[in-house]
């Protein structure tokens, strides 16, 4: 498979300390992977809160990656639930970055599920809890994407958003998560409408065996939901984050329509 991400590349992955983001980071630097044709001076930025998790990701990339001497792999700790932290650190970070990259690819992947033990109104939460969820899943990503796109305005820009079936379907006990995912999908479509030169993709990775998947399996209020996650885990039909990341990287390398929603099973919508 050939990669369209040639030349000097700047790649940022949010939520790179665990789960899907960790898998994605490792797979893209393998031989034949998304960044296999990136040249010297390319940069990969891992962004989340947990520095030791991101360092583990970097070590795994260095161990398994193909010709890692081409890349400067940076670990950047930002708390996306804190908009002041996100704004200050993002602007400070971007100010120091050269604009001279052929390709920009940003994976907006960090996410939080919120409380799945209650329905929308049977238990209320302090307003800060709602704020935190929307900050991580929507407010900070919009800020990050717009600022990164503006900074790298002369690069070929690709933005990939980790979406979910929750963006398309109303799910029990997940009202805020569903709203934020649907909102981000629409933001991506609007971004493409305003800037047809920016390529966007919303990718739904499927029901994955990660911390978020565990939370749904163990703590969801609705018994049948917990049971269906348990069954997927037992039967091995739960999606491995590495398999889902492989599928996403294939979609990116084989082509898709900008603005599209694609899921791990190849369905568009
Ligand atoms: N698992 C599923 O079944 C499933 C299905 C559909 C979509 N998704 C989506 O897939 C994406 C990745 O989730 P995952 O399943 O891999 O779960 P995960 O293992 O819990 O990973 C979530 C990532 O988001 C980061 N994050 C959370 N809060 C953050 C904050 N305040 N600031 C910065 N980073 C933060 C975490 O890093 P730190 O803790 O280090 O900050 C972590 O790297 C999410 O967008 C999720 O909504 C998951």
- Residue 2's pLDDT band, with cuts at 50, 70 and 90, is low
Domain tally for the chain?
A: 1
Average pLDDT, the chain: 96
Whole-number percent of the chain with pLDDT over 90: 95
Q: Which tens digit of pLDDT belongs to each residue from 4-61?
A: 899 999 999 999 999 999 999 999 999 999 999 999 999 999 999 999 999 999 999 9
Residue whose CA is at the smallest distance from ligand 1 atom 47 = 111
Distances (CA, A) of 187 to 6, 104, 163, 169: 27, 18, 12, 17
| This prediction's pTM | 0.98
Would you say residue 105 lies in a domain? yes
Would you say residue 4 lies in a domain? no
Average pLDDT over residues 261-268: 95
Would you say residue 269 lies in a domain? no
Q: Which tens digit of pLDDT belongs to each residue from 202-233?
A: 999 999 999 999 999 999 999 999 999 999 99
Would you say residue 101 lies in a domain? yes
Would you say residue 2 lies in a domain? no
DSSP track, 205-269:
--SBSSHHHHHHHHH-SSHHHHHHHHHHHHHT-SBPHHHHHHHHHHHHHH---TTEEEETTS-B-
What residues are in contact with ligand 1 under a 6 Å CB criterion? 15, 17-21, 48-50, 53, 79-81, 109-112, 136, 162, 164, 205, 207-208, 210-213
CATH number at residue 162: 3.40.50.720
């Amino acid at each position: 498979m050939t990669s369209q991400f040639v030349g000097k590349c700047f790649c940022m992955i949010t939520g790179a300390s665990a789960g899907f983001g960790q898998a994605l980071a490792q797979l893209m630097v393998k031989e034949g992977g998304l960044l296999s044709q990136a040249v010297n001076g390319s940069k990969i930025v891992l962004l989340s809160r947990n520095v030791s998790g991101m360092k583990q990701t970097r070590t795994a990339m260095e161990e398994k990656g193909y010709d890692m001497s081409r890349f400067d792999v940076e670990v950047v700790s930002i708390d996306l639930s804190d908009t002041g932290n996100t704004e200050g650190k993002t602007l400070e970070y971007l100010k120091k970055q050269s604009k001279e990259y052929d390709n920009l690819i940003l994976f907006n992947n960090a996410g939080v599920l919120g409380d799945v033990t209650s329905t929308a109104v049977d238990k209320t939460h302090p307003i800060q809890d709602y704020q935190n969820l929307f900050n991580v899943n929507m407010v900070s990503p919009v800020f990050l994407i717009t600022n990164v796109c503006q900074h790298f305005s002369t690069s070929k820009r690709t933005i990939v958003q980790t979406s979910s079936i929750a963006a398309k379907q109303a799910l029990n006990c997940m009202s805020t998560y569903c709203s934020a995912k649907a909102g981000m999908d629409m933001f991506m479509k609007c971004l493409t409408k305003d800037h047809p030169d920016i390529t966007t993709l919303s990718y739904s990775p499927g029901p994955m065996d990660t911390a978020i998947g565990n939370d749904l399996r163990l703590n969801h209020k609705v018994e049948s939901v917990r049971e269906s996650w348990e069954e997927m885990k037992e039967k091995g039909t739960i999606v491995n984050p590495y398999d889902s990341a492989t599928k996403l990287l294939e979609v990116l390398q084989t082509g898709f329509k900008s603005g599209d929603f694609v899921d791990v099973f190849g369905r568009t919508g």
